[in-house]
Amino acid sequence: MALQQISSFAAGQWVAPGAGARTIASAITGAPIASAGNDALDVLAMLDHARNTGGPALRKLGFHDRARMIKALGQALTARKAELYAASFDTGATQSDHLIDIDGGIGTMFVFASKGRREMPDGQIYLDGEVEQLSRNGTFLGQHVCTPLQGVAVHINAFNFPVWGMLEKLAPTLLAGVPSIVKPATNSCYVTELAVRIMLEADILPAGALQLVSGGLGDMLDHLDCQDVVSFTGSADTALKLRSNPVILQNAVRFVAEQDSLNASILGPDAEPGTPEFDLFIKEVAREMTTKAGQKCTAIRRIIAPQPRVEAVIEALSARLSKTVIGDPRDEATRMGALVSGGQKADVLAKAAIIGQEAEQVFTMDPGLSGDLANGAFVPPMLFHCADPDHAQRVHDTEAFGPVSTVMGYRDMDHAVALANRGGGSLVTSLITHDADVARDVVMGAGAFHGRIYINNRDSMKESTGHGSPLPHMVHGGPGRAGGGEEMGGVRGVKHYMQRTAVQGSPEMLARIGGKWVPGATEVAGPAHPFTRRYDELSIGETLNTASRTVTMDDIEHFAHFTGDTFYAHMDDAAAKRNPFFPGRVAHGYLLLSFAAGLFVEPNEGPVLANTGLDGLRFMKPVSAGDSIKVRLTVKKKTRRTDEYGEVRWHVTLTNQDDEMVAEYELLTMNAY
């Protein structure tokens, strides 16, 4: 059978394999199926295309435009995911593995698309945090802003998740406004290539936003500079080699690494056999060992159980693992497929042998395969027991990237935490317990060594997402051995592709830069009441100053009895005076808010569709009967929401007859375009 030719997409052209191409074998049968790589790939042209065509086009758009693009890419992939499933079987993955890789990757795109529109501005500059007051009178302020890097993100991915691995990096990169060159691991690049084709054929991205290298990267990394980012997933050895590249070091090129990790799972001391937690622990560990045949950066490599429970854990785990149906992943009965290649199989067996020097193998099974499958990269689950984990080293530093894990006993929680931390920095540790004190101790003791701590028990098990699943909302990465990098984590992940700059200047400057009104910046009177003006007509800084209204004792009495809020500070002069906050009976804060609405509202039907909330309310000075209040309402920020309306955030201040601030808040309305 002719080998499938896996192309690269470089500077707007598909480039077929050429000199230096590698042959890729099916994980299931070991037979050659594809060829990828071309030594003649023009990496300089690719960098130029990304930097000078893709980058400028992406930066012209705003965060919301790019978020919509990411959503459309996710939809294009969804429409053709059956093709991706079909292509993926040859990597050894089962249909449930595909759900993690393909559906999980698409889901990640959707989460970033939605976060981009909900949590990022409808503009080009991201404001990081609030305005900082740098001067006494507020004429000189500071604001951290993030703008897209003007280079290219080179995404180097591991073989185990050819789709998710690309998309979890691509979504935050595109959202940031940075073009990407994706380089999948050669072993499974045929799946990534198909996903890239689907995205490009959907014709959503500007030219130069996405390029693909199938095969080797050549000397691309030697041409990176301070505006570029390398985001790497793979082995610690390769990460070390790539991050030590003199050009990367000299130009301080951002290098995000997510690499080998000796993750652990701890069985809490309360989780005795017979409890829901014990069963849950066995289920999670067995699942982590066998999903993707253990080829997951987050898989559980070390099983840490109370010493007296070690035997029960081994027994229960062995019983569960013995039911693993190993075989052709296309067969629906199969629960565990093959490793990605014969090379990986040899590597896993060699690593298991190293672990075997310090631990006794307590479970394995005959995969029972014959025919074509006999040449596939199948490895059965292998469970080890390390009787002396304190004096062992290899069980804590050898990552057998397959269905291999080691049970070790702990004496007390400090010991359990110390063992988990022996991984030297991991992506994830899980803890199965129903005891919140144990959970707190583990977070305190192991947090510094782990990027994620996953706690599960009878209360959360039905909805929990699994020890091994990085989620787009949460940070993925870990210190030390895990690479020291961080990916995803919602908007945090987008910032890896942007530069944070501390901008200092006058309120007017900051307001104009950020597209968000800042106290002290210009206030302009609009041509009509702002509630009669449509979303697009309102300008940032447009302000309404209302007439004033005197608050009477009758108002306070009436409000108290009408609402039932007869709190003593509003009703009893002597009691209110005994309180350090009040001069005597005072108006209810909510009465003031209601009066404020009465002062600023325009009653007729108009473009204001709804009042959807109020943020950051502060009452600063009490209002007594006889005082008067007036309101200033300023358009602070506008965010497009749907095709029909957008959100207007108003800065509202209430002041008294002496112009002292009585209350301050932000009012949210939805306004028609």
What residues make contact with ligand NDP under the rule CB under 6 A? 156-160, 183-187, 216-217, 233-235, 238, 242, 258-261, 297, 344, 347, 399, 401
Distance in Å, CB of 184 to ligand NDP, minimum: 6
Q: How far apart are CA 427 and CA 449, in angstroms?
A: 9
DSSP letters along 414-435, please?
HHHHHHHHTTSSEEEEEEE-S-
Distance in Å, CB of 425 to ligand NDP, minimum: 12
Distance in Å, CB of 29 to ligand NDP, minimum: 20
Q: How far apart are CA 446 and CA 444, in angstroms?
A: 6
* Cβ atoms of 304 and 265 closer than 8 Å: yes
Identify which of 554, 581, 591, 586 has the alpha carbon closest to the alpha carbon of residue 571. 586
> Catalytic: 258?
yes
**CB closer to ligand NDP out of 347 and 397:** 347
Choosing from 146, 297, 399, 487, the catalytic residue is: 297
Q: How far apart are CA 117 and CA 137, in angstroms?
A: 35
* Cβ atoms of 358 and 379 closer than 8 Å: no
Q: Which secondary-structure segment (H or E) carries 63? A: helix 63-79
Phi-psi region of 437 (alpha: psi -120 to 50; beta: other; left: phi over 0): alpha
**CB closer to ligand NDP out of 6 and 438:** 6
Distance in Å, CB of 222 to ligand NDP, minimum: 10
**CB closer to ligand NDP out of 5 and 499:** 5
- Tokens matching residue 386: 């390390």
* Cβ atoms of 195 and 87 closer than 8 Å: no
List the beta bridge partners of residue 596: none
List the beta bridge partners of residue 405: 383
- Cα–chain-centroid distance for residue 621? 42
Amino acid type, 272: E
Q: How far apart are CA 530 and CA 601, in angstroms?
A: 9
**CB closer to ligand NDP out of 85 and 161:** 161
Q: How far apart are CA 289 and CA 403, in angstroms?
A: 5
Distance in Å, CB of 105 to ligand NDP, minimum: 15
**CB closer to ligand NDP out of 156 and 359:** 156
Q: How far apart are CA 193 and CA 181, in angstroms?
A: 12
**CB closer to ligand NDP out of 343 and 368:** 343
Distance in Å, CB of 375 to ligand NDP, minimum: 20
- Cα–chain-centroid distance for residue 60? 24
Identify which of 119, 105, 252 has the alpha carbon closest to the alpha carbon of residue 175. 119
**CB closer to ligand NDP out of 240 and 524:** 240
Residue 281: how many other CB atoms lie within 10 Å: 29
Choosing from 193, 258, 486, 542, the catalytic residue is: 258
Q: Which secondary-structure segment (H or E) carries 170? A: helix 164-176
Distance in Å, CB of 660 to ligand NDP, minimum: 59
**CB closer to ligand NDP out of 90 and 399:** 399
Q: How far apart are CA 647 and CA 399, in angstroms?
A: 50
| Sheet of strand 153-156: strand arrangement | 13-15, 8-10, 210-212, 180-183, 153-156, 229-234, 254-259
> Catalytic: 201?
no
The values of phi and psi at residue 155, to 5°, are -105, 110
Distance in Å, CB of 399 to ligand NDP, minimum: 5
Q: How many CA atoms lie less than 13 Å away from 481 in the CB half-sphere?
A: 22
**CB closer to ligand NDP out of 235 and 532:** 235
Task: Give the chain's radius of gyration (CA, Å).
Answer: 30
| Largest Cα span, the chain | 95
Distance in Å, CB of 89 to ligand NDP, minimum: 19
Distance in Å, CB of 36 to ligand NDP, minimum: 8
The values of phi and psi at residue 648, to 5°, are -110, 125
**130 burial via Cβ count (<10 Å: 0-12, 13-18, 19+):** exposed
Q: How far apart are CA 261 and CA 51, in angstroms?
A: 33
**CB closer to ligand NDP out of 156 and 652:** 156
Q: Catalytic residue numbers?
A: 258, 297
